[in-house]
Amino acid sequence: MDKIRIMGGNPLVGDIRVSGAKNAALPLMAASLLTDQPLHLTSVPDLSDILSMIELLTHMGAEITFDRRIDSSSMTLCVKNLSDTTAPYDVVRKMRASVLVLGPLVARAGEAHVSLPGGCAIGTRPIDLHLKGLEALGAEITLEGGYIHAKAPNGLQGGTFTFPIVSVTGTENLMMAATLAKGTTRLINVAREPEIADLAACLTGMGAKISGIGTDTLIIEGVESLQGTTHRVISDRIEAGTYAMAAAITKGNLRLKGACLDLIPTVASLLQQAGVELEEEGEDLIVRSPSAPLQGVDMMTEPFPGFATDLQAQWMALMTLSEGASMITETIWENRFMHVPELCRMGANITIHGSSALVRGVKALKGAPVMATDLRASVSLVMAGLVAEGETVIHRVYHLDRGYEHLEEKLRNCGAEIERIQ
Ligand code: EPZ
């Protein structure tokens, strides 16, 4: 199994192009199930999760061409014949976002059979709200043999559903389902993540009628059918935030091409409070590190526009070397501190109290062999390795390949000593 070896100590200096967002591209790909015409996506990141979604959609009858190029991959998906409405366990257990096919399948075919995903490293991750929402649109749901069977033989009907908890993929699934339902659907207390606005923009391009985009209530007028369109995937705010923090932890200076402050409002504000300088220049974000030590700043994860849980581990890595202390509270996932013992093995001073972690800044981290547990935990260990004294070897790097396009090349081009080894 591949590992990543890093010799720490070099500041990151240079340019990094931010890729298209994985968490936008996955629902956009699932949206191709809603029409028999081609959907053309540009700025698609070349990641293993994208390949898993290709595998799943191909199994359902999609014809997909993926033109893989550094920084500008594009994809055409066409589901002329929807030949299979099952999302098998083997694909779903590898990638939970597979559940995003549920809404589009019921909407187009009147049925779907999707394996229940099961828990994962960061939490139990139920999908009860996706199912309750589909029931509000008239679907009949049964569970058998570990599979969700959803049926709406006469098509979905518009309805009202209020999310008791904000759910990103739950909102996306129901928004897609409602585009082809008969009548009007009101989705209340929806997630407001930029990836949702991106999906809504693409669906609108396909002929869907959606209003309230960017607010907590979406109103969707169902239409008879949707058509193909061309859509550019929004830039990855989590990747941008990760590299901004990587610049800060190594005391470097980066130009993040295609990064946008509006996509990371709270992250930007906390970075500035810690002492990092951020400046937008055209379509780029310039990140400059101060010569003085960074200051510890408390942080709590929240749905957008709050601080993204997908940047919590990276913020924690940054805070390990700050002056003072930082209280980090995770409110989205119940088990997202798996990186803490690994960071402590590198010399960090972190104690966990329930859903909060108290990080007391230390003078330096020391390289060590460490184990990656999930995508964002893995990249926090890469960040720690970039600044640690000596060598860090990160095991189980397949997690990184799910969400960071050309990570080693991007970091190496900015001066990092990082390589993949067997
Ligand atoms: C999305 O997951 C992202 N994945 C996650 O990114 C991200 O961490 C998460 O949103 C939160 O921002 C994709 O977009 C593909 P949720 P999702 O439904 O949609 C509870 C990464 O690293 N909940 O918004 O699965 C749930 O347990 C990944 O790229 C229910 O109780 O997350 C959690 O506490 C990891 N019932 C909260 O809601 C439900 O039916 C938010 O989860 C659904 C969710």
Tens-level pLDDT at each residue, the chain (422 residues): 889 999 999 999 999 999 999 999 999 999 999 999 999 999 999 999 999 999 999 999 999 999 998 878 999 999 999 999 999 999 998 899 999 999 999 999 999 999 988 666 777 788 999 999 999 999 999 999 999 999 999 999 999 999 999 999 999 999 999 999 999 999 999 999 999 999 999 999 999 999 999 999 999 999 999 999 999 999 999 999 999 999 999 999 999 999 999 999 999 999 999 999 999 999 999 999 988 999 999 999 999 999 999 999 999 999 999 999 999 999 999 889 999 999 999 999 999 999 999 999 999 999 999 998 899 999 999 999 999 999 999 998 888 999 999 999 999 999 999 999 98
Closest by CA position to 16, among listed 260, 282, 257: 257
Quote the pLDDT of residue 313.
98
Distance CA 259, CA 234 (A): 10
Residues in CB range of 242: below 8 A, 6 or more apart: 311, 314, 379, 383, 404
> What residues are paired with 255 via a beta bridge?
15, 286
Percent of the chain with pLDDT over 90: 92
Rounded to whole angstroms, the Cα distance separating 41 from 35 reads 14
Question: Both tokens of residue 285?
Answer: 């974000």
C-alpha 168 – ligand 1 centre gap (Å): 6
Q: Is 344 a catalytic residue?
A: no
Considering only CA atoms, which residue is closest to atom 30 of ligand 1? 126
Is residue 254 within 8 Å of residue 221, measured between CB atoms? Answer: no
Q: Are 394 and 411 in contact (CB under 8 A)?
A: no
What integer pLDDT is reported at residue 137 of this predicted model? 98
Q: What residues does ligand 1 touch, defined as CB less than 6 Å away?
A: 23, 26, 97, 123, 125-130, 165, 167-170, 191, 309-310, 332-333, 375-376, 403
d(CA 322, CA 273): 12
Report how far ligand 1's centroid is from the alpha carbon of 259 (Å): 23
Task: Provide the pLDDT for residue 369.
Answer: 96
* Residue 395 CA to its chain's centroid (Å): 22
The predicted pLDDT at position 118 comes to 64
Contact between residue 235 and residue 260 where contact means Cβ atoms under 8 Å apart: yes
In the reported structure, the alpha carbon of residue 9 is separated from the centroid of ligand 1 by a whole-number distance in angstroms of: 35
CA of 169 to the centre of ligand 1 (A): 6
What is the C-alpha to C-alpha distance for residues 333 and 98, in angstroms, rounded to an integer?
A: 19
Contact 101, 114 (CB under 8 A): yes
- In ligand 1, the atom with minimum distance to the C-alpha of 169 is 19
Q: What is the distance, to the nearest Å, from the Cα of residue 135 to the centroid of all Cα atoms in its chain?
A: 26
CA distance 329 to 309: 10
Q: Torsion-angle region of residue 314: left (phi > 0), alpha (psi -120 to 50) or beta?
A: alpha
Contact 114, 145 (CB under 8 A): no
Q: CA–CA separation, 395 vs 276, rounded Å?
A: 30
pLDDT of residue 291: 86
Structural contact between residues 207 and 225, judged by C-beta atoms closer than 8 angstroms:
yes
Ligand 1: residue whose CA is nearest its atom 27: 125
Centre of ligand 1 from the C-alpha of residue 333, in Å: 8
Give me the half-sphere count of Cα atoms (radius 13 Å) on the Cβ side of residue 402: 21
Q: Residue 381 has which token pair?
A: 């260990």
Q: What is residue 115's predicted lDDT score, i.e. its pLDDT?
A: 95
**At 325, phi and psi to the nearest 5?**
-130, 160
Pick from 81, 173, 83: nearest CA to 136: 173
Nearest CA to ligand 1 atom 9: 168
> Crossing angle, helix 102-109 and helix 128-136, to 10 degrees?
20
Of all protein residues, whose CA lies closest to atom 4 belonging to ligand 1? Answer: 23
**pLDDT recorded at residue 119:** 61
- Which ligand 1 atom sits nearest the alpha carbon of residue 303? 12
Of 96, 116, 131, 169, the one to substitute when testing ligand 1's pocket (max ligand atoms within 8 A of C-beta) is: 169
Pocket test for ligand 1, best of 19, 22, 23 (most atoms within 8 A of CB): 23
* Choice from 26, 165, 309, 334 to test ligand 1 binding pocket (greatest atom count within 8 A of CB): 165
CA of 213 to the centre of ligand 1 (A): 19
User: Tokens 């009949």 label which residue?
Assistant: 140
